[in-house]
Amino acid sequence: MRTVFELSWRLLRGGGRRGMLGSLLTLAAVAVSTGLLLFAVGANHAFAARSAADAWRHPAKTHGTATAIEALNTDYARGRQITVVELAALSGDAPVPPGMKRFPKPGEVWTSPALASLMRTMPADQLSQRFPSRTPTGTLGRSAVVHPDELVAVVGRAASDPALSAGRSDTMIADGVASPTRIDRYATGSQSATAFVYQVLAAIASVLMVVPLLVFGGAAARLTVARRDQRLAALRLVGATPGQVVAVTVAEAVLTAAAGAVLGTVLFAVAMPALTQIPIAGGTWYASDVWPGLWVLPVVLAVPVLVGISAVAGLRRVVVGPLGVARRETPPGLRAVRPLAFLAIVIAFGFLAGGLTSMGRTGLILLLVFLALAFLGINLVGPWIVAIIGRIAAGTARGPARLLAGRRLMDDPRAAWRTVAGVALTGFVAGFLALLNPSSGMLGHGAAADRLEITVPEASAATSAAQARDRLRALPAKVTVERAAKPSHGVRGTDGEGNDEPDGGGNDEPDGTATIRAVVDGGRENVDRARTALTGLIPGHNATTEADSDIGSARLLADLRTGALTVLAVSFLIAITSAGITGASAVLDRRQTYAMLRLAGTPLDVLDKARRQETLIPLLVMGGGSLATGLFFATPFAMGFGSTGALTLVAFVTLGFGGILAASALSRPLLRAVTTNPAPRPD
């Protein structure tokens, strides 16, 4: 084994400047792949970490003797959500909450750092007077806070406090409230519905990023092998055993990949400060959440292994028949099974699509499967279409450049596909996201931000309204009472949608309810004053506006957009890097032919034009085709084709083609370099 590694190392170093350049290209490809792979893993890790930090706030029913009461509520200030956890001890061994040194005593307020600073900067009558203590008793530790900007308060109360016996249900955020529950421990292992949705979205994003990444990584691995083809065939011809040939090449590929994986990890670490600034779910990220921790090891180890496997696969041809490589026979045609498989996937999806949205979780899993299948399908049909494009281009070519490009596409459609695969797959992502990318115009605009509402039992409505008027005396507010038309279970429909969350626990609620409504003039400051004044009016219930409840949905839409843009950015990075690297390696692979053509007087321009067309023609066809496929796959979930969707598409076309053109233009100096001294010599 040692001699194999030594030989590989020597081959690596002895390959000369150009051989070294080839290895550097592989190194760069593997580094970019590893970095992005770590990003995908890190994103999932981060969402899991957020979910874990959030879990304890949602009380779960006790199994043994209850030792504490826990309730959850959501308040609002300055258009931001504040999560309020209320706790009361039932006995001395009440469980210490995560991120706190001890169980909070009645009257204490522990806050997240962001809330503490907001309480300092906002006037007391707008925020801090809502809490039993105007200055925080303590700061919540890292394990109790979801993200650095999160506003959280843990309020200690006495078990007899009315706030810990009143049910809470008058809000639309199913996850943002929980009625007082007797607990003996925190639900640290569970997951809230919102956290689940985010983790699923992160999983979809990962599939969209990782599949092209693997295609690209595989191409990069094959790149090492392809360049060694000739030399390895020569080794075979002089009698090296297949085992030796495989060992040498694989060792060489694995050595390069291992260095690339380490470099990629460094790249990811360097990019982390920027990545943690991507705002999702109302805040940026803790670096320790985004860093995948121990998961780095398996990734860094798996990458060289995968590259090694890919190298073996690419080598099979050499080992099976050395002449196959040495003599370059006509490659076997691509089988018609490729387009058939793709068609089957599209047709199957077409049949199922209508039902997907009504299938709930099964539909989601089916969608994930179909997304992966669509990627595979595009990857299968790609080379086949490239071959056809080549046939057409070669058949209709008038000039030498087009003829060369067409024949090259026909000769090795897989290699040509590899150059454009990244962009084609990105086209699919862009098409898919263009329809899923809703514009803000779809939000219920004009939701009142100055009309505070609070739900009360019908019987006490008049009394409560009088108290409210009294509390709001000093403010320009008008208080009215409206009886609920239907018996409410705590759900206040605004638009008839999004009401299917499970009933949060309206058991304590008497059947008839009424709404006390306070219209406050004087902007956000006065509304926050009114909120503060009304705090505690109805124990366990906050006064909220319609606009408050839109914060959640607006945030989800914004997050979808941020996620889509992130996925697109990653895809483009993959696409452009892969176009640049495969383009450069195509030039390196064919340096002898290029040198010969130059020597016989072929102008550099013709060679360059041929090289460009070789990339551009399939790019146009495949980019457009996969864009259309992506649009098709998104139709069942289409939220409408808003201006954002159109912008996404325009950006895709501009960035995609511009990026690819720029990346492939990098091959031009390389082409010039390999042809400057056209004296023919075997490598």
Partner 1 sequence: MNTVPPSVLSGTGLVKAFGPTVALGGVDLAVGRAEAVAIMGPSGSGKSTLLHCLAGIMRPDRGEVRLLGDRIDDLGERRRSALRRSRFGFVFQFGQLLPELPADENVALPLMLGGTARREAVQAARGWFGPLGLAGLEGRRPGELSGGQAQRVAIARALAPRPAVVFADEPTGALDQATGHDTMRLLVEATKHNGASLVVVTHDPAVAGWCDRTVEVRDGRLLTPFPGAA
Binding site for partner 1 (CB under 8 A): 327-330, 397-400, 403-404, 407-408, 410-412, 592-593, 595-604, 606, 678-680, 682
Q: Give me the least distance between CB of 226 and partner 1, in Å please.
A: 14
Q: Give me the least distance between CB of 658 and partner 1, in Å please.
A: 29
Residue whose CB is less far from partner 1, 329 or 521: 329
Residue whose CB is less far from partner 1, 199 or 592: 592
Identity of the amino acid at 493: G
Residue whose CB is less far from partner 1, 404 or 452: 404
Strand runs labelled E in 165-205: 178-183
Q: Give me the least distance between CB of 283 and partner 1, in Å please.
A: 55
Asked if 67 and 59 touch (Cβ cutoff 8 Å), the reply is no
Residue whose CB is less far from partner 1, 128 or 675: 675
Residues 6+ apart with CB under 8 A from 393: 402, 405, 406, 409, 613, 617
- Rounded Cα–Cα distance for residues 72 and 154 (Å): 9
Asked if 101 and 207 touch (Cβ cutoff 8 Å), the reply is no
Q: Give me the least distance between CB of 592 and partner 1, in Å please.
A: 5
Identity of the amino acid at 123: P
Q: Give me the least distance between CB of 681 and partner 1, in Å please.
A: 9
Residue whose CB is less far from partner 1, 198 or 384: 384
Residue whose CB is less far from partner 1, 1 or 679: 679
Joined together, the tokens standing for residue 260 give 């690339």
Residue whose CB is less far from partner 1, 2 or 681: 681
Residue 585's nearest CA partner among 644, 667, 641 is: 667
Which residue has tokens 């002898």? Answer: 592
Residue whose CB is less far from partner 1, 211 or 389: 389
Residue 546's nearest CA partner among 31, 5, 171, 134 is: 171
Instruction: List C-alpha distances in Å: 299 to 23, 50, 372, 567.
Output: 21, 22, 21, 20
Q: CA Rg, the chain, in Å?
A: 31
How far is C-alpha 258 from the chain's CA centre?
26
Residue whose CB is less far from partner 1, 407 or 555: 407
Instruction: List C-alpha distances in Å: 669 to 583, 605, 613, 676.
Output: 12, 12, 17, 10
Joined together, the tokens standing for residue 481 give 């009472």
- Rounded Cα–Cα distance for residues 31 and 268 (Å): 9
Residue whose CB is less far from partner 1, 162 or 603: 603
Q: Give me the least distance between CB of 403 and partner 1, in Å please.
A: 7
Residue whose CB is less far from partner 1, 192 or 602: 602
Asked if 544 and 455 touch (Cβ cutoff 8 Å), the reply is no
Residue whose CB is less far from partner 1, 79 or 678: 678
Residue 517's nearest CA partner among 505, 493, 534, 540 is: 534
Q: Give me the least distance between CB of 52 and partner 1, in Å please.
A: 56
Residue whose CB is less far from partner 1, 470 or 683: 683
Q: Give me the least distance between CB of 617 and partner 1, in Å please.
A: 15
> What φ, ψ does residue 83 adopt, rounded to 5°?
-90, 125
Instruction: List C-alpha distances in Å: 280 to 74, 552, 560.
Output: 19, 12, 9
- Rounded Cα–Cα distance for residues 675 and 664 (Å): 17
Instruction: List C-alpha distances in Å: 666 to 73, 608, 656, 659.
Output: 57, 11, 16, 11
> What φ, ψ does residue 640 adopt, rounded to 5°?
105, 155
SS3 assignment, position 668 = helix
Residue whose CB is less far from partner 1, 398 or 486: 398
Q: Give me the least distance between CB of 404 and partner 1, in Å please.
A: 7
Q: Give me the least distance between CB of 583 and partner 1, in Å please.
A: 17
Q: Give me the least distance between CB of 643 and partner 1, in Å please.
A: 46
Identity of the amino acid at 412: D
Instruction: List C-alpha distances in Å: 300 to 212, 216, 254, 292, 303.
Output: 18, 17, 12, 12, 6
Residue whose CB is less far from partner 1, 190 or 230: 230
Phi and psi based region of residue 89 (left: phi greater than 0; alpha: psi -120 to 50; beta: remaining): beta
Three-class SS of 45-59: HHHHHHHHHHHCCCC
Identity of the amino acid at 438: P
DSSP class of residue 647 equals: H
Q: Give me the least distance between CB of 397 and partner 1, in Å please.
A: 7
Q: Give me the least distance between CB of 235 and partner 1, in Å please.
A: 18
SS3 assignment, position 83 = strand
Residue 176's nearest CA partner among 560, 562, 538, 553 is: 553
Q: Give me the least distance between CB of 421 and partner 1, in Å please.
A: 20
Kindly report the number of other CB atoms within 10 A of residue 450's CB atom: 18
Q: Give me the least distance between CB of 410 and partner 1, in Å please.
A: 7
Joined together, the tokens standing for residue 298 give 């398996």
Half-sphere exposure (CA, 13 Å, Cβ side) for 641?
Answer: 9
Q: Give me the least distance between CB of 384 and partner 1, in Å please.
A: 18
Residue whose CB is less far from partner 1, 332 or 446: 332
